Amino acid sequence: DGFADLTYVYDAAAEIAAWVQGPATVAVLYQRNLTPLHASAVLVDGKIVAFLGPSRMGKSTLAAACLAAGARFVTDDVLVIYCGPEGGVLGFPGPTVLRLDSRAGQRIGWRGLQTLGADHDGKVRVSPEQRVVTEPTRVGALFLLGAGDDVAAERVREITLLARLRRLLQRPRLV
């Protein structure tokens, strides 16, 4: 009949892990007035610098380049932030694993990074051997990455950053 036999293997543990790491975690964070951002982040001059954007835009690569230049590691892939009522944004450190494209890692150099293994998508899991942030810290800069030829940066005061984040992240309260 021209159709191949298909077999679907249900991996309950993987399905549960994906749900817990995704929608369930986001719901709990929102209930606690915390906001997860798709970002990689480092600490520079005592403040968090975060790179936000869609997948494969270079967030982890930029973070690794900053680490090679002496920055401290905060998180990769998800940065959880808290917007305080009086202004100010705090960022929370995440797991100490960075997923890095192997070609980018070779260009930047692996100095100070312990290789943990490779993932199915060609990325290499590495861990900063030193310089890891362990406490919530003020966010000093957010860089939104995107595809295109235009490069633009705008410095804003912390209170302006807070207002923009709140507008960007407006969401219904979860009860």
Least confident range from 42-51, 131-140, 147-156: namely 147-156
- DSSP code at position 132: B
Looking at residue 174, its pLDDT comes to: 46
CB-CB contact of 76 with 168 (8 Å): no
Q: Over pLDDT 90: what percentage of the chain? A: 15
Number of H helices, E strands in the chain: 5, 9
Looking at residue 75, its pLDDT comes to: 93
Average pLDDT over residues 37-48: 92
Q: Which residues contact 87 (CB under 8 A, 6 or more apart)?
A: 158, 159, 162
89 has pLDDT over 80: yes
Average pLDDT over residues 2-12: 53
Q: Over pLDDT 70: what percentage of the chain? A: 68
Q: Model's pTM, two decimal places?
A: 0.73
* CB burial string 112-124: b at 16+ within 10 A, e below: bbeeeeeeeeebb
